[in-house]
Amino acid sequence: MKWNVWGHPLKETEQFFQEGGFPRFRAKQLHDYLYKRYVYDFAQMTQFPAAMRDWLSENAVIEKPEVVRQQHSSNGDTIKLLLRLSDGSLIETVCMKHDYGNSICVSTQVGCAMGCIFCASTRKGMERNLTPGEMLAQIYAFRMLYQIPVHSIVLMGSGEPLQNYENVLQFMHLCHAPDGLNLSYRGMTLSTCGIAPAIYQLADEKIPITLAISLHAPNDEIRNRILPSSRKYPIQTLIDAARHYFNVTGRRVTFEYILIKGINAERTHAEELCRLVGDMSCHFNLIPINGTEHIQLYPPDHQAIERFSQILEKHGKSVTVRRQMGDEIQAACGQLKRRYLKDNS
């Protein structure tokens, strides 16, 4: 079988060349072609001797997802791409332009097994894990198409990253590699619905990424209702894991909290939330729920959002309310894919 050269650490590519009887430095040249010059055809790699190009064509392929749909928001701050993988699966990725730079939202699985009631990605369950190369290709799709610099990445697309632990870790190492994107770990945020044992494991990796936990509720009763997977890890277990993550890494944890009218957005919920996290050093990202009319879940009105935020602030918490980016282009998880499948069925 031919080796897919896309999405490997330099060491592995070096090994591939050495096993083929070629010098190690060719690996670095190949990486320059793939990740700096965007050349995806061995025949065009003219820095290589002809015999080596032939050997590559016989023994290797460059297999990475292809872009099948692009959507731009009207104000230009969000671009969403739909990618088709080599097995025909579809995944979504989003680029958000912020004042501080471009942030890419990466999917980690095809579909998702977590079953959150508000999330379009999970409707059909989880099909498979993405490879590190398939995650990396999401970032390169934007770089190639729009030549944009990437400032940060957020693992907040489809899928539960901590269920695809090894590949996600390897992907973050690839993003960090100097011969690749050379991104700092501080520019990476991993968002999880809260698989507590994997949070302990991640803390031990000693990489200074930001951990974001989709908390979405101040107690188990509400959380179990909207995040069915949370039944396995009670909310207090999760808070303990977050505290541990901060103690070991020194990185302040972010709690994501979707605001849903009539479910978790009352004053009492905000107060309960403050009691739950206590004096822990953390940040809250409040997210008015997005694009879920079909299951009749709506964001609270502006005043209620403001009130919720103020209560957290009064308790000394740092809070941001997520701007509603990309709503018009179905930027919430899984919504572009659903639309595409509908159009093409």
274 is catalytic: no
We find the least distance from the C-beta atom of residue 63 to ligand SAH, in angstroms, to be: 25
The DSSP code for 52 is H
3-state secondary structure of 54: helix
AA letter at 38: Y
Question: Under a CB-based contact definition with an 8 Å cutoff, are residues 105 and 120 in contact?
Answer: no
- Two tokens, residue 30: 């190949």
**Which of the following is catalytic: 14, 63, 92, 160?**
92
Binding pattern to ligand SAH, positions 190-209, x when CB under 6 A?
-xxx----------------
Among 74-82, 133-141, 286-294, 300-308, which window interacts with ligand SAH (CB under 6 A)? 286-294
Strand-pair category, 109-111 with 126-129: antiparallel
Note whether 218 binds ligand SAH by CB under 6 A: no
CA 256, distance to chain mean position in Å, is 14
We find the least distance from the C-beta atom of residue 107 to ligand SAH, in angstroms, to be: 8
Question: Under a CB-based contact definition with an 8 Å cutoff, are residues 104 and 94 in contact?
Answer: yes
Note whether 215 binds ligand SAH by CB under 6 A: no
Question: Under a CB-based contact definition with an 8 Å cutoff, are residues 261 and 298 in contact?
Answer: yes
- Two tokens, residue 162: 């901590």
**Which of the following is catalytic: 95, 112, 116, 333?**
333
Note whether 256 binds ligand SAH by CB under 6 A: yes
266 is catalytic: no
Containing 155, the helix (H) or strand (E) segment is strand 152-155
Which residue in 116, 172, 198, 211 binds ligand SAH (CB under 6 A)?
116
Question: Under a CB-based contact definition with an 8 Å cutoff, are residues 166 and 114 in contact?
Answer: no
Question: Under a CB-based contact definition with an 8 Å cutoff, are residues 93 and 331 in contact?
Answer: no
Q: Could you tell me how many helices (H) and strands (E) the chain has, helices first?
A: 11, 14
We find the least distance from the C-beta atom of residue 5 to ligand SAH, in angstroms, to be: 29
Question: Under a CB-based contact definition with an 8 Å cutoff, are residues 191 and 156 in contact?
Answer: yes
For ligand SAH, the closer of residues 13 and 290 by Cβ is 290
Note whether 214 binds ligand SAH by CB under 6 A: yes
Binding pattern to ligand SAH, positions 141-180, x when CB under 6 A?
---------------x---x--------------------
For ligand SAH, the closer of residues 17 and 118 by Cβ is 118
We find the least distance from the C-beta atom of residue 227 to ligand SAH, in angstroms, to be: 8
Among 41-49, 66-74, 290-298, 308-316, which window interacts with ligand SAH (CB under 6 A)? 290-298
**Euclidean distance between CA atoms 82 and 71, whole angstroms:** 9
Which residue in 73, 170, 290, 309 binds ligand SAH (CB under 6 A)?
290
Surface-to-core class of residue 32, CB atoms within 10 Å of its CB (0-12 exposed, 13-18 middle, 19+ buried) = middle
Contacts with ligand SAH by CB under 6 A: the residue count is: 19
Residue positions annotated with a catalytic role? 92, 333
Report the interface residues with ligand SAH, using CB under 6 A. 114, 116, 118-119, 156, 160, 191-193, 214, 256, 258, 287, 289-292, 332-333
